Chains A and B, each alone.
Chain A
Amino acid sequence: GAGVSQSPRYKVAKRGQDVALRCDPISGHVSLFWYQQALGQGPEFLTYFQNEAQLDKSGLPSDRFFAERPEGSVSTLKIQRTQQEDSAVYLCASRATEANEKLFFGSGTQLSVL
């Protein structure tokens, strides 16, 4: 596609609900990152995929957070039993290789947990 696409753009969840956030990276991009961005803060690293392999999940805040990229393209970030502190913008980014090339970001999913 022309860019990184994320859906939904906005998600409102009741506390305790499970949510799934989708990322469609640029076609052919090897690397995919997920970030969490709280209001007024910079993006915080969550996890990294190289193709279908999740090479780094050191930023996932708890075992309620789970990410997958089964075919090395589309990725899903799942949050189980959402809590109010999970409210944030979740950003996805992709790059062509694993090296220090430019990252292309989606517009994010704004999650609000009530």
Chain B
Amino acid sequence: LAKTTQPISMDSYEGQEVNITCSHNNIATNDYITWYQQFPSQGPRFIIQGYKTKVTNEVASLFIPADRKSSTLSLPRVSLSDTAVYYCLVESSGGYQKVTFGTGTKLQVIP
């Protein structure tokens, strides 16, 4: 399993773009990068998943450089409701593998 490292916390003002970077130096060839969001008193919720380059959906963008040793989750124009914990995961596409979460990045959006 590739270990992930991400900042413990970040603060941002409303309306700004937020970028959260995750390091996964020993990512394997068949591994994907997945991000989840968790609000207090709720289970984590899937945000986005990618393998390489850039993926965009209605919520966020995910940037993955060519060496895939890191990835950046980009949240455009955050609002107070984006205050949450964001988890970066590395998952294998080759059948079952334990899905592990780290401690995540606690994003606090300030008015």
Contacts and interface: CB of A to CB of B under 8 A. Distances in A.
Interface of A: 4, 31, 33, 35, 41-45, 48, 50, 55-56, 58-59, 91-93, 98-100, 102-108
A31 B44 CA distance: 16
Interface string B94-111: 011011111110000000
Nearest to A3: B43
B44 A103 contact: yes
Say what secondary structure dominates the interface of chain B.
loop
Contacts of B42: 105, 107-108
Contacts, number: 60
Contacts of A50: 96
B82 to A, nearest CB: 18
Contact of B43 (A48, A98, A102, A106): A106
Q: Point out which of A4, A56, A99 has the most chain B C-beta atoms below 10 A from its C-beta.
A: A99
Contacts of B44: 43, 91, 93, 103, 105
Interface residues of B, number: 24
A91 B43 contact: yes
A58 B98 CA distance: 9
A107 B36 CA distance: 14
B46 interface: yes
Interface of B: 32, 34, 36, 41-46, 49, 85, 87, 91-93, 95-96, 98-104
Contact of A55 (B85, B93, B96, B104): B96
Given A42-B101, A42-B104, A56-B96, A100 B43 contact: no
A43 B85 CA distance: 11
Contacts of A102: 34, 46, 49
Instruction: Identify which of B46, B87, B102 gathers the most chain A CB atoms within 10 Å of its CB.
Output: B46
Contact of A56 (B92, B93, B98): B98
B49 A100 contact: yes
29 contacts: A4-B43, A31-B96, A33-B99, A35-B101, A43-B101, A44-B101, A45-B99, A45-B100, A45-B101, A48-B98, A55-B96, A56-B98, A58-B98, A59-B98, A91-B44, A92-B43, A93-B43, A98-B95, A99-B95, A100-B49, A100-B91, A102-B34, A102-B49, A103-B46, A104-B46, A105-B43, A105-B44, A107-B41, A108-B43
